Amino acid sequence: MTAPLTALFTPYNIATMALKNRLNMAPMGTNYSTWSGVVTDRLVDYYAERARGGVGLITVGFTHVHLSGQISPYSMGVHDDAVVPGLRRLTDAVHAAGAKASIQIAHGGRRCSSTVTGTQLLAPSSLPCVGGEMPRELSLAEIKTVIEWFVLAARRVRDGGFDAVTLHLANGYLLQSFLSPYSNRRTDQYGGSVEARARLPIEIVEGMRRELGTELPIIVRLAVDDFLEGGATLADGRRTAQLLEGAGVDAIDVTAGIPETMYIIGPPMSMPKGFLVQHARAIKDAVRVPVGVVGRINDPVLAEQILRDGHADFISIGRPLLADPDFANKARDGRAEDIRPCIACNEGCFQRLYSQLDVSCVVNPRAGREAMYPDVPATKAKRVLVVGGGPGGMTAALTAAARGHHVVLCERGARLGGQLLMGDVPPHKEEIRALRDYLTRQLAKSGVETRLETSVTREFVEREGPEVVIVATGARPVAPSVPVIDAKIVSSWDVLSGREVAGAKVVVMGGGEVGCELAEYLAAQGKNIVVMEMLPEILNGTEPRARVLLVRRLCDFGVQVLTQSRVVEVRGGIVTYERAGLKSRIEGVDTVVAALGSAPEAALGKTLGSGAAVHVIGDCVKPRRILEAMREGFEVAYDL
C-alpha cells in the first residue's frame, strides 16, 4: 500500500467545470476514427475504458478544424456539422463512465502532408519541417478564415456535449508555428514580438469566447519552450500565457518542444521523469488560472509530490493511460505497485501514429482493442504450460490465469525476465527494470505456479499432461563467423549479464540498438570503445527520438563509430576490418564483443509431439522486440 495521495485526489474546478480529481488524460492521437474523421465504436470504447479508470478529465486528442489541417487519414475531425452526432456519442460514454470530457481542436499546418490534405500546406511562413514539404505563407485574409474555422469548431464541440474545449498551441502545428520565432518569420502584425506572434491564438480565443460565452471553459495546451536556439524561450512562454489568460483562457496545460526537438514532445525513457515541472512552475507563477504539466509522469507518487510542492494544479498523463487505463483507480486505492508501467519506448504509440497506423501499446496489448478482448473469464478452464519466463511467456501466463486457466510457468534460468534481465543494464533503461519487476510481482499474485531452473523436454510435457503448451523459449545471440586466433569474441549478452568483464579497449561488432547501448554502458565505465557497423548508419530501426539522444550521448563519451565496416579477423589484440574494399587494423584491443542480433531457440516447439495443443510465440518464432513478444503472448493466451 502506498501513502494516501490526498493532493492528487482533491477535487478542483476549471472555471465552471467541476472535476473529481487532478488527473487529466492528456490528448493523444489514436488513428481510430474513420477515413472522414468521424467517431467510431473503437474510439468510444477506448475513451470509455479510460474514463472508468478514474481520471477526472478525458481530453480527446488532435481534432482538425478543417480538412487542410488533417494530419492523418484517420485523425478525428471537428470540421463539419456531420461529425457532431459522433461527438455526442463519445461524450455520453465518457460521462456515463464518470469523467468529464474536453477535446483538442487544431490545424496541422506545416506538419501535414499534401497526400492527406490534397492541398499545399499552410504556415505562418514558407519554412518546412525537417524532412517535410514546403508550406505556403498564409495571407491576412486567410488568417481571418482560420479564426472562423476554430470558432465554428468550438461551437461543434459545445453541440457535441463536451464539458470544455482545448486549443492546441503545441507540437509544431499551425498555431504554435505562429508562436515560435523559429517558424514565424513574418514582418506584419502576426510576426516579430511575442505579442505579435501570439496575435492569432489570442484572436481565436476571443472569437471562441464570444461564441461560447461562459458556458464552456477554454483550456490551452501550450508549448512554453521550443528547446531550440532561435525558437521560443520560457520567457516567451510566460508572456504568452499571460496574454492568453487576458483573452479569456481558463486553464493552461504546459508542454514544450517543436518538430525539430521531437524528443521533447514524445520523450523517450532516457528523458528524466517530470522534466517539465519547473517550466510549469514558471507559468504558474505568471498567471492565476489553473496550470497543468505533462512529461514523463508515470508514477502517482511523483504526481502527488508535484502538486504538494505547488508546481502545478493538475497532472496530465498520456502514455501511462495507454499502458494502464486503471492508473487513477489503482493509485487512489493504494495499489501503485499494480499499475502497469509505461516504459516510454514510443514503439506502439508515437512510432505507429506517425506511420499512419492505429495506436497500440507495447505493455498493454488490449489498448484500442477493448471490445475485441473484453475482461471476462474463458468459457472453459484448461491446464496450460508456459515454457519460458521472458516478457512473452510471463504475459501469456498472466493472461491465461486472468481468464481462469490453471497455469504452470517453467523457466530454465534462476530468475524471470528473459532478455529484460540484460535490457535494463545499460544507462537510461530503468523502465525496462520497472516492467520486469511489475510482471514478476503480478505473477506472484496471480496464482500461476512458477518453476525456476526447470528445463522442459518432450518427456516433461508428457508427464505433466497439460492441455495447452505455450512455447516462449526466446532466442540466443548470433555468433560471428570470422577467424579468431589467440583471442575470443564474447557476446553482448555475456557482458550485460556479467558473465564476462570487458577490458579497457573494446571493439563492439554491430551498431544496432543492443550494440550502441552496450557501447554507452562500457563508455560510461571509462573504457575506449569502437563500434563497427556494416550498414551506412547505426541504430537502424530504433525509435527516432531515442536514437537522437543515444547518438548524442555516444558522441559525448567519445565513442568511435565505423560504418560500412566488416570485421575480417581477430588475432590477439588486433582487429582487422574491411571498409569499402580497404583493410585496416585496430590494435591494442582487450575485448571484442559481438552484438549481431539473435537466432530463434525453436527446437522445443518442433519436438513436442504430445496430445497438447502447442503454440509458439515471441523470439523463438522470429527475433523481434518486446512489443511482438507481449502481444503474441497475450493473444494466444486470451484465445485459449
What is the CB neighbour count within 10 angstroms for residue 557? 16
Of 46, 173, 521, 638, which residue is the catalytic one?
173
Please say if 173 is a catalytic residue: yes
> Which grid coordinates belong to 3?
501513502
- Ramachandran assignment for 274, one of left (phi > 0), alpha (psi -120 to 50 degrees), beta (any other): left
**Residue 139 DSSP label:** P
> Which grid coordinates belong to 472?
516462449
Rounded Cα distance between 523 and 596, Å, is 19
Compute CA distances 65 → 118, 120, 136, 380, 400, whole Å.
Answer: 16, 17, 19, 49, 44
Compute CA distances 89 → 48, 94, 135, whole Å.
Answer: 11, 9, 36
- Ramachandran assignment for 439, one of left (phi > 0), alpha (psi -120 to 50 degrees), beta (any other): alpha
**Where does 191-334 show beta strands of DSSP type E?**
218-223, 251-255, 291-293, 314-317
Rounded Cα distance between 330 and 321, Å, is 12
Rounded Cα distance between 362 and 631, Å, is 7
Question: Which residues, listed in sequence order, are joined to residue 449 by a DSSP beta bridge?
Answer: 408
Compute CA distances 440 → 271, 309, 445, 516, 594, whole Å.
Answer: 25, 33, 9, 28, 29
Rounded Cα distance between 505 and 38, Å, is 58
**Where does 224-374 show beta strands of DSSP type E?**
251-255, 291-293, 314-317
CB 206 within 8 A of CB 247: yes
Type of residue found at 139: S
Catalytic (active-site) positions: 173
